[in-house]
């Protein structure tokens, strides 16, 4: 759902080669999040969730069981097309746009939102805003904690002698009940899937990142391709920018070391079918 406070344009920093690949194919590639440069990718939400659970539960056995449930989410892979609210940031030019020789492509947020909704009808696909502060991380997982604590209050983790079920309870019945309650807790943890790749450490806050995010859920429309790195096969998927009507690209910022002339870039964009796109040069003094 669209937020009235969300930015109208989101920028993707990339090399000139990647820019041309996007513009000519009219597609974007969502790549493996776990192959990124952030070693904490996917771990921030899980750590926050465990801390909040331990704030309310003192039984070490139940804490251990909860940690096992959370760890089961650790193998989840996410594919993302990364964007930023800010289209002219020096650190972004250095890190993601060929050391300033590339560009920042400005995508219409509304178009990406509609695209995510169209694709999301059949896959786990969404446009998400990354959160960087602890209070935001806690807000992201609060509903999960509330649901899990309801399961705890229903008896999850209690010993058979402490259960108030009325009448006699056999060990077999107790074991079955605990399995049912564990599954109920796991169901609440499914909500963690979206927040897993929507939280990053505060050190990355300057990026003001958003993501077109596809979650690779086994047996649930598990569609992707693979490319080779030196050490592993890396999953990715492509999304057609024109799967929904409208003009997806509304602005392009040429990097501080990029040499294409503004009017030439405008002609190229119009010739490729993107209409009258605003093109400007970075004001970053980086040579």
pLDDT in tens, 60-75: 999 999 999 998 876 6
Which of residues 102 and 71 earns the better pLDDT score? 102
Q: Quick one: pLDDT at residue 15?
A: 97
Residue appearing with tokens 């990124």: 36
Distance CA 87, CA 280 (A): 11
Q: Quick one: pLDDT at residue 41?
A: 80
pLDDT band at 219 (very low <50, low <70, confident <90, very high): low
Which of residues 32 and 255 earns the better pLDDT score? 255
Q: Quick one: pLDDT at residue 281?
A: 97
Q: What is the mean predicted confidence (pLDDT) over 40-48?
A: 87
Q: What is the mean predicted confidence (pLDDT) over 160-173?
A: 64
Burial (Cβ within 10 Å: 0-12, 13-18, ≥19) of residue 190: exposed
Q: Quick one: pLDDT at residue 1?
A: 43
Count how many residues are written for the chain: 287
Q: Do residues 109 and 7 make contact, with C-beta atoms less than 8 angstroms apart?
A: yes
Phi then psi for residue 124, to 5 deg, are -80, 90
Integer-rounded Cα Rg, in Å, for the chain is 23
Report the sign of the C-alpha dihedral through residues 245, 250, 256, 262, in that order.
Answer: positive
Residue appearing with tokens 């693979």: 226
CA-closest candidate to residue 134, choices 84, 200, 76: 200
The pairing of strands 27-32 and 9-14 is unpaired
pLDDT band at 166 (very low <50, low <70, confident <90, very high): low
Q: What is the mean predicted confidence (pLDDT) over 158-174?
A: 68
Give the Cβ contact number of residue 67 at 10 Å: 15
Q: Quick one: pLDDT at residue 132?
A: 95
Distance CA 11, CA 104 (A): 6
Report the sign of the C-alpha dihedral through residues 275, 281, 284, 286, in that order.
Answer: positive
pTM to 2 decimal places:
0.86
Query: Does the pLDDT value for residue 122 go beyond 80?
Result: no
Q: For the chain, give the longest Cα–Cα distance.
A: 83
Query: Does the pLDDT value for residue 99 go beyond 70?
Result: yes
Distance CA 280, CA 270 (A): 15
Q: Quick one: pLDDT at residue 153?
A: 94
E-strand ranges in the chain read 9-14, 27-32, 77-84, 103-108, 125-129, 209-216, 225-228, 233-240, 249-254, 278-281
What's the pLDDT tens digit per position in 221-278?
556 889 998 888 888 999 999 999 999 999 999 999 999 999 999 999 999 999 999 9
- 30 forms beta bridges with 237
Distance CA 201, CA 4 (A): 25
Q: What is the mean predicted confidence (pLDDT) over 46-54?
A: 95
Q: Quick one: pLDDT at residue 97?
A: 97
Residue 58 DSSP SS3:
coil
Q: What is the mean predicted confidence (pLDDT) over 42-57?
A: 93
Q: Quick one: pLDDT at residue 220?
A: 58
Q: Quick one: pLDDT at residue 52?
A: 96
Query: Does the pLDDT value for residue 121 go beyond 70?
Result: no
Share of the chain above pLDDT 90, in %: 67
């Amino acid at each position: 759902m669209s937020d009235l406070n969300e930015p109208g344009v989101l920028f993707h920093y990339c090399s000139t080669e990647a820019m041309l690949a996007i513009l000519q194919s009219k597609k974007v590639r969502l790549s493996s999040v776990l192959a990124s440069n952030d070693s904490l990718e996917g771990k921030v939400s899980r750590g926050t969730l465990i801390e909040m659970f331990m704030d309310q539960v003192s039984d070490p056995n139940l804490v251990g069981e909860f940690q096992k449930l959370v760890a089961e989410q650790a193998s989840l892979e996410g594919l993302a097309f990364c964007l930023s609210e800010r289209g002219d940031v020096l650190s972004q030019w250095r890190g993601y746009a060929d050391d300033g020789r590339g560009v920042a492509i400005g995508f219409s947020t509304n178009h990406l939102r509609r695209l995510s909704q169209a694709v999301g009808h059949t896959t786990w696909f969404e446009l998400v805003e990354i959160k960087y502060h602890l209070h935001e991380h806690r807000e992201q997982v609060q509903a999960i904690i509330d649901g899990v604590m309801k399961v705890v209050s229903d008896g999850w983790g209690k010993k058979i002698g402490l259960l108030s079920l009325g009448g006699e309870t056999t060990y077999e019945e107790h074991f079955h009940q605990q399995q049912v309650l564990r599954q109920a807790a796991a169901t609440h943890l499914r909500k963690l899937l979206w927040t897993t790749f929507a939280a990053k450490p505060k050190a990355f806050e300057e990026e003001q990142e958003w993501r077109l995010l596809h979650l690779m859920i086994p047996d649930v429309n598990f569609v992707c391709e693979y490319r080779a790195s030196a050490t592993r096969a890396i999953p990715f998927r492509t999304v057609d920018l024109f799967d929904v009507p409208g003009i997806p690209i509304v602005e392009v910022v040429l990097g501080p070391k990029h040499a294409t002339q503004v009017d030439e870039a405008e002609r190229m964009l119009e010739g490729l079918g993107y209409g009258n796109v605003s093109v400007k040069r970075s004001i970053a003094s980086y040579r």
